[in-house]
Structure 1
């Protein structure tokens, strides 16, 4: 015991080196675990009857509407939307990633992303600065972004985050974050301050109190393809009994040759009326 005590005292007297210097704080653009920029096209592999067309009035299957939401969905009047200048209600932050659209993502500056959507000609600005003040309510709302699940820096091993040889992955699935996510970190976007809008083209309501949270991952697919997997959670205490969760896929395109901005117009409508309710 005496020998152990003496060894402890000797070790305690050994001068300790200075603490490691703090890691520099990188701007969000420099800290990005993956490159989200470029042109991305929606790949609709499920729920086409609610995404490629305007569903029949009263078709809100799988949407957890409460009594008030149910009532409003059944009372949808598309002509009134046109008269009141609300044609863009189905193209807001709650629904835009589920539509058959393309999205063009760019950096405005080192702390701000911009997402342009050609269907409905929508734009969402994503601020990484949480102190950014709210403006007026818009269809795309006030979006705050942050990188999440980013592993600590590792010593260089001959590859980079954007080098396919440095990553592994499988073809993306519709499960969203967790099922087909990358292993390098993701982008979380929380959107508030939206205008009252629609979750689907046929008037499924979303209130201005809703919070829309998007989780975006970039994953490699077969044949060198690159995908964005977008998990969207719409939490609306006014019209929903629980959050509504979807997962959407976007395939990277090489250029803007297929970019086709269009106005806010309803997709082709299902002619027959659906049974009201679920």
Structure 2
């Protein structure tokens, strides 16, 4: 997903984000010299993600801006597109083949059984607003520090909030729509003429079952969401992730 920042900066949050992997030997940690306590996550942040951001939809438009029909795995309704080499897309034992979500047969068949009326009757109308789904929707985000070791991401689409913790989940944690997000910084530079930079890795577990897309593309309670955030500044002065 691509986002535009409302504070005279621009941000893009993409489904796949480009970032630099830095060997542990050259990852910089600020303060807390050898043997000392590790500074709080806010103090050692190599990039600034705080502010207000708005989505700029540049891919998968019809599944993100609209509610795609049941069985649309990213290429239109089943059979709507014909591949000259393989025939109609979205049909056969695994209708997700050649789609944008690589389900196995069981997962694809579960997606084909989506029943929005059943979700509504069971009190589950917001299954597309869990962490794996909300970051792909046309939303506005506000990112702030809740405390020195916790980032907060608030999305106005579905009125959802995610807490990003710099630490492992506690024992006995129950599943929820936004799950438990554990974060870590990767830092580099910051010495001499090398500007400090880096990225944020977020791994979210303990999720309730939900939908990647609003047309019932399911994920289970065993799903693990891994995200990488890295800022990029363009010549026009805009900043992207």
Residue equivalent to 1:42: 55
Q: Return the TM-score normalized by structure 1.
A: 0.62
Residue equivalent to 1:212: 225
Cα distance in 2 between the residues matched to 1:152 and 1:191: 28
1:73 to 89, 95, 111: 111
Residue equivalent to 1:191: 204
2:46 to 21, 25, 33: 33
Residue equivalent to 1:64: 102
- Does residue 112 of structure 2 align to residue 100 of structure 1? no
1:116 to 143, 154, 157: 154
Q: Structure 1 unaligned segments of length 5 or more: list them.
A: 1-20, 162-183, 229-278
Once the two structures are overlaid, the 10-residue window that deviates more, 92-101 or 127-136, is 127-136
Contact 2:189/2:195 (8 A) holds in 1: no
Contact 1:50/1:200 (8 A) holds in 2: yes
Cα distance in 2 between the residues matched to 1:83 and 1:143: 29
Cα distance in 2 between the residues matched to 1:224 and 1:36: 16
Q: Where does 1:202-241 land on structure 2 (aligned, <5 Å)?
A: 202-228=215-241
| Bigger relative contact order (CA 8 A; separation at least 6) | 1
Structure (1 or 2) with the larger CA radius of gyration: 1
2:64 to 40, 46, 51: 51
Cα distance in 2 between the residues matched to 1:90 and 1:224: 34
Cα distance in 2 between the residues matched to 1:131 and 1:215: 19
Q: Where does 1:104-183 land on structure 2 (aligned, <5 Å)?
A: 104-130=142-168, 132-133=170-171, 135-148=173-186, 150-151=187-188, 153-155=190-192
Cα distance in 2 between the residues matched to 1:133 and 1:109: 21
Cα distance in 2 between the residues matched to 1:46 and 1:151: 31
Q: Return the TM-score normalized by structure 2.
A: 0.71
Counterpart of 1:199 in 2: which secondary structure? strand
Counterpart of 2:236 in 1: which secondary structure? helix
RMSD: 1.8
Q: Structure 2 unaligned segments of length 5 or more: list them.
A: 1-32, 74-98
Judging changes above 3 Å, is the alpha-carbon distance between structure 1 residues 33 and 226 closer, same or farther for their aligned structure 2 residues?
A: same
Contact 1:134/1:193 (8 A) holds in 2: no
The superposition leaves residues 117-156 of structure 1 with CA deviations (integer Å, 9 ceiling, x where unpaired) of 11001111111022544532111100000002x115414x
Counterpart of 2:108 in 1: which secondary structure? helix
Contact 2:165/2:183 (8 A) holds in 1: yes
Counterpart of 1:80 in 2: which secondary structure? helix
Cα distance in 1 between the residues matched to 2:59 and 2:101: 15
Judging changes above 3 Å, is the alpha-carbon distance between structure 1 residues 131 and 139 closer, same or farther for their aligned structure 2 residues?
A: closer
Higher helix share: 1
The superposition leaves residues 174-195 of structure 1 with CA deviations (integer Å, 9 ceiling, x where unpaired) of xxxxxxxxxx110000000000
Counterpart of 2:125 in 1: which secondary structure? coil
